[in-house]
Amino acid sequence: MTNELMTIEPMQISAVTLKGTHVRLVPPDFKYENDLVKAAQPREIWEFIATAPGQTPAEMHAWIQQAIDETANGSRIWFIIIRKSDGCAIGATSYMDIHRSNRGLEIGGTWVTPSAWRTPINTECKYLLLRHAFENLGCLRVQLKTDLRNVRSQKAIERLGAVKEGVLRKHMITRTGYIRDTVMYSIIDTEWQAVKEKLEGFLKQRPLTADR
């Protein structure tokens, strides 16, 4: 699509299950509570995460209820990340900052237990979310963001083929009270085909190798 004037219907978005080779992304449900509590224990997950579900059973239960409610009312569409090799829930991700009339959204709120780091899981999660956003929802823009201090996350986003748009200075106060600068990235509809081919190449050529 170009930037020319056109009539565009608002985007329709709701809960859905997305299936890949390594992961399934499923709507939030209390049946994943115990797995998620276990997955959330390593402290290194939360170093650069602005908000977190919590690590106790009570905190996770409350977070799952919130995720269910937000998904139901459409303000944010949450997914639980299921590792297909063992059926365990190992983290979560979401469509957030949803702009239906402008056909845009953000992939964010993502966390994954460290045992899945440097595996194909993150690449496939982003691939499934991006494919659904562009090919089923008809998005014009998908954005991603991360803490300026989180170099590992920036490299992972850039590896997807996202375009760095800039840094939002003093963008948010995190749960620890840190005043965070945020790096913004995006992929637009006209870039999706090239990004798709790149990600499919990663997943096809090195299905068992680590993300870099």
Residue 93 identity (one-letter amino acid)? T
Between residues 168 and 212, the one the model is more confident about: 168
9-36 burial string, b = 16+ CB within 10 Å, else e? eebebeeeebebebbbbbbbeeebbebb
Report the distance separating Cα 128 and Cα 170, nearest Å. Answer: 31
pLDDT score for 2:
57
What pLDDT does residue 209 have?
Answer: 43
Q: What domains are there in the chain, each with its CATH number?
A: 18-205 (3.40.630.30)
pLDDT(211) > 80? no
Per-residue tokens: 19:
């299936």
Q: How far apart, in Å, are the Cα atoms of 84 and each of 89, 94, 119, 122?
A: 9, 19, 13, 13
Summarised one tens digit per residue, pLDDT across range 14-27 is 999 999 999 999 99
Q: Which pTM was predicted? A: 0.91
- 3-class secondary structure, 173: strand
Share of the chain above pLDDT 90, in %: 83
What pLDDT, on a 0 to 100 scale, did the predictor assign at position 208? 44
